[in-house]
Structure 1
């Protein structure tokens, strides 16, 4: 049975219903992970859970220690990673509350340490990253969404921006011209680091607001929090289905 690691993003700093067996605080060659790794049982299956932004939510996306997080999960026994992300919707079908399983991504972040392959190396390593998300894991997430009968999209190009500020209207227009469907701040380098560790990786993205310029008025935290409150229960249902099946 595959041991899944779930990385919780904004709105999912803890996984309700997770029965904790141990709380791991591993030391890594890259520093400390964002929080302790919860080793427990969810939906009757062994699972590892890590809050990407810490618990409580305190680490901004550009300061997350992505290398420590992924290394710690791998060495705790993770065999696959499901990442949960709160995102803005660019594609007209991807409004607040919509769930997306992205199939591609474009990295617009900068200054983040994005590889394990640096320093005093014996040789240079170039991973293939043509398709950043694992097809098998994406299929499991989509099966869960269909079983739960939640509105969702089985495609999506994820634009990863630097944050922590939200984007300008002109920036979103540029991302749309580039072919992006959703925008978030944590998709990279997380996906690439998982590939370097040979960990199957896929995202379940919850749209919590229309991106800048996609609705009237400004984006408010009240709007985002309301969408999170409404949508996180659906995320938990889908995760439970994936683990059970």
Structure 2
């Protein structure tokens, strides 16, 4: 099958507008339906797929997203590189609302999600460095104010952290907190895709500042206010993505007998 797209963006519904001449593709997967039909269009001369992580009307809470179906659907269309913009809370004084960060580490604190395509046999994913260095570098170079590095802890949600939880995460030296980054990153690696997160800091988490708290309305408003900025960053990054051939994100499974199917 000829690839319909080789790059994908998994993000919020506001990102639809950056695709040129999009067409929708309904994809059936062995894991059920993805969050929405996949839109495929052109960005910076590349064929790009877009999938709204939470559904077209933000109907899916973080713990109810079918992450396996999403990544399998994108791979079935030919996608080999994935950019994943997301809203995050700040845990460190090194970041502030409005910052865009390309994290380099991830901590998984989710507990109800299916985190792997592996259902039988011995297939152990190397995941010491969860994000693709090539894709991350292309994103980091897209604008001079992008911050590079930091650890993103992913919590189950949909509730926000208590102050004690937030203070605990900060005490570990983790700088960002999010609800959707896992198992998305690991599943992309299992699909032999290059994946990088693009984290927009929308708030300081409950325990990071005295008297502060997390308010959903403020988070959504700040994210919407930065959509044009984020789509510009994505367009620039997509235009400078490296050839993924031979990247460790893909090559990790060379010579292994996988017990799941990569489309």
Is 1:113 matched with 2:114?
A: yes
Deviation of the 1:28 alpha carbon: 0.3
SS in 2 for 1:213: coil
- 2:142 is aligned to 144
CA distance in 2, matches of 1:189, 1:217: 29
SS in 1 for 2:142: helix
TM-score (norm 1): 0.92
Equivalent runs, 1:50-61 vs 2, <5 Å: 50-61=51-62
Confirm or deny: 8 A CA contact 1:102 1:155 kept in the other structure.
yes
- 1:213 is aligned to 207
Instruction: Indicate the RMSD between aligned Cα atoms, in angstroms.
Output: 1.6
Residue-by-residue CA offset, 1:206-233 (whole Å, 9 max, x unaligned): 0111111234343222321231122222
Is 1:201 matched with 2:195?
A: yes
- 1:96 is aligned to 97
- 1:127 is aligned to 125
Is 1:231 matched with 2:226?
A: yes
Residue-by-residue CA offset, 1:147-175 (whole Å, 9 max, x unaligned): xxxx3320110000000011111001111
Confirm or deny: 8 A CA contact 1:3 1:80 kept in the other structure.
yes
TM-score (norm 2): 0.86
CA distance in 1, matches of 2:84, 2:60: 16
1:160 aligns with one of 154, 160, 173: 154
Is 1:72 matched with 2:84?
A: no
CA distance in 1, matches of 2:64, 2:116: 15
Confirm or deny: 8 A CA contact 1:13 1:54 kept in the other structure.
no
- 2:6 is aligned to 3
CA distance in 2, matches of 1:209, 1:232: 16
- Equivalenced residue count is 236
Residue segments in structure 1 that go unaligned for 5+ positions in a row: none
Equivalent runs, 1:181-196 vs 2, <5 Å: 181-196=175-190
Confirm or deny: 8 A CA contact 2:107 2:152 kept in the other structure.
yes
CA distance in 1, matches of 2:225, 2:23: 29
SS in 2 for 1:228: helix
Confirm or deny: 8 A CA contact 2:27 2:33 kept in the other structure.
yes
